[in-house]
């Protein structure tokens, strides 16, 4: 007979994982994968104790991994795209003109604003960070500035767009799971994301001025890097065609993977036609990543920043992120088979008093589910389905719930090292998640403003009489 877990049993896997990750990563700098697997084993032992079989646990894991397969394919495709854009000159060209145009004083705020704009139009934080974000990291390396700060600005910009874009999967999912109109949900998000955007912009503007010493002078090695890029690659407008294809595909709501592959193949054609790359070189660049020797450069003959700048991309570069995602999904699926997450949420709701308490409970639920499942989609659906009735019973519009879910899940995911998003951003931008975390200002200001509005009542939408009657009727 299968038994329902007590709150104590339900919390054991969660607390185990949090302790293992905080001690293992924070104190001993251990990789997260084995720590997550140990947590999954603990969750599995509890599930078996409650009467679930090994086959049931394995089936749950298989089903969850199957559901994230589209995200896995996008992950691999992004690695393919970065390698192709490197050898095809697209990213080097963006880096070159970025170095030529951007002042060090405004690098942080420029990276934030431009990435936010690209993400709004594309609806994808991963694609934005993997394209324009990589270019800004190249500019940062060339200017010898604080890489963690620039990475944080890129992540903030990428997730600003991901949060507010009608093309974003997480934005649509938050709207659907709570039964809120998409554009009503986006409009309500302005209450928390708008102030966060302003705070982040001010921080990046001031920090950029301080980091640059207030002079805005260009380091000497920047000119050496620019000379090397200009002499190595053969710029022309066709190098921007892959970027234009990705932007157009996103605006026209075309499937992500085919659009990225088309843009990648255009870049590979540019590499062979204009850069003289061989077929073997372009294949290697998309699999193992770009290497400067492919364009006739040797590390001993160029400034040391050139290899750091260009040697990246390839499908293999995403394997570490993929491994973390699979380990995290294994833990989540093992926990969810015993209904442990729902037990924790139901007990949290017993403590709710007032609107502020409900918002706080939603935040805790969102943080817990994203921390435990490491999956943004699952972490949006669970609070959306579990807490919607609690909002309606208190006369609160469900768009308060959809907004708070995004504040505590969507933008929190990339600042947790063990999530697929955190690992992806770290691998793509070349900066550890915990290093850029303090600089990813937009990713945690949402929670702060959500709680402020929850306890003050500002920006909290109520159900009118007609809506309340409609909700009661639908529930009955």
pLDDT digits (tens, 9 = 90+) for 168-185: 777 877 887 788 888 888
d(CA 188, CA 306): 44
Contact call for residues 109 and 315 (beta carbons, < 8 A): no
State phi, psi for 353 to the nearest 5 degrees: -140, 110
pLDDT in tens, 251-300: 787 887 898 899 999 999 999 999 999 999 999 999 999 998 998 888 88
Instruction: Specify the DSSP class assigned to residue 406.
Output: I
Contact call for residues 305 and 225 (beta carbons, < 8 A): yes
pLDDT at 82 (0 to 100):
84
Q: Report CA-CA distances (Å) from 138 to 96, 134, 363, 428, 440.
A: 9, 6, 35, 11, 18
pLDDT at 473 (0 to 100):
46
Mapped onto helix, strand or coil, the DSSP state of residue 384 is helix
d(CA 431, CA 434): 9
Query: Tokens at residue 19, please?
Result: 């302790």
State the pLDDT confidence band at 79, using cuts at 50, 70 and 90: confident
Nearest CA-CA partner of 209 in 280, 138, 127, 149: 149
Torsion angle defined by CA atoms of residues 268, 130, 65 and 31, in that order, rounded to the nearest 10 degrees: 120
Question: CB neighbours of 434 closer than 8 A, spacing ≥ 6?
Answer: 25, 417
Q: pTM for the full model?
A: 0.73
DSSP state letters, 168-223: -HHHHHHHHHHT--HHHHHHHHHHHHHHHHHHHHHHHHHHHHHHTTTT-PPPHHHH
Contact call for residues 156 and 441 (beta carbons, < 8 A): yes
pLDDT in tens, 184-198: 888 999 999 999 999
Determine whether 369 is exposed, middle or buried from the number of CB atoms within 10 Å of its CB (0-12, 13-18, 19+).
buried
């Amino acid at each position: 007979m299968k038994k329902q877990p007590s709150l104590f049993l339900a919390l054991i896997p969660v607390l185990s994982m949090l302790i293992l990750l905080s001690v293992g990563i924070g104190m001993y700098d251990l990789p997260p994968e084995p720590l997550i697997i140990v947590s999954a084993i603990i969750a599995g032992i509890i599930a078996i104790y409650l009467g679930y079989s090994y086959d049931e646990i394995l089936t749950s894991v298989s089903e969850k991994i199957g559901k994230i397969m589209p995200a896995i394919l996008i992950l691999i495709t992004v690695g393919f795209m970065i390698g192709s854009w490197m050898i095809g000159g697209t990213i080097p060209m963006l880096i070159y003109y970025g170095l030529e145009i951007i002042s060090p004083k405004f690098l942080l705020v420029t990276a934030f604003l431009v990435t936010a704009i690209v993400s709004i139009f594309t609806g994808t934080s991963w694609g934005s960070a993997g394209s324009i974000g990589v270019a800004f990291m190249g500019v940062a390396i060339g200017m010898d500035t604080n890489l963690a700060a620039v990475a944080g600005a890129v992540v903030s910009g990428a997730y600003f767009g991901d949060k507010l874009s009608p093309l974003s999967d997480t934005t649509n999912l938050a709207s659907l799971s709570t039964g809120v109109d998409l554009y009503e949900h986006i409009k309500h998000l302005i209450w928390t994301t708008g102030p966060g955007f302003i705070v982040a912009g001010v921080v990046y503007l001031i920090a950029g001025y301080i980091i640059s010493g207030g002079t805005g002078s260009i380091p000497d090695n920047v000119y050496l890097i620019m000379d090397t890029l200009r002499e190595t690659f053969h710029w022309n407008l066709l190098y921007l065609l892959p970027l234009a294809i990705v932007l157009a595909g996103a605006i026209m709501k075309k499937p992500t993977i085919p659009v990225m592959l088309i843009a990648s193949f255009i870049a590979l054609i540019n590499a062979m036609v204009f850069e003289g790359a061989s077929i073997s070189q372009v294949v290697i660049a998309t699999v193992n990543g770009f290497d400067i020797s492919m364009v006739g450069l040797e590390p001993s003959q160029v400034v040391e920043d050139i290899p750091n700048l260009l040697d990246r991309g390839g499908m293999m570069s995403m394997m570490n992120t993929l491994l973390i995602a699979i380990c995290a999904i294994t833990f989540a699926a093992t926990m969810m088979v015993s209904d442990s997450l729902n037990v924790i949420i139901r007990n949290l709701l017993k403590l709710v008093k007032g609107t502020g308490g409900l918002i706080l409970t939603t935040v805790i639920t969102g943080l817990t589910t994203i921390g435990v499942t490491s999956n943004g989609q699952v972490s949006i659906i669970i609070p959306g389905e579990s807490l919607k009735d609690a909002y309606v019973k208190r006369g609160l519009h469900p768009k308060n719930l959809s907004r708070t879910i995004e504040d505590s899940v969507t933008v929190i995911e990339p600042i947790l090292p063990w999530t697929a998003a955190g690992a992806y951003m770290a691998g793509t931008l070349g900066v550890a998640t915990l290093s850029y975390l303090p600089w990813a200002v937009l990713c945690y200001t949402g929670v702060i403003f959500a709680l402020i509005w929850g306890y003050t009542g500002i920006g909290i939408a109520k159900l009118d009489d007609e809506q309340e009657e409609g909700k009661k009727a639908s529930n009955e």
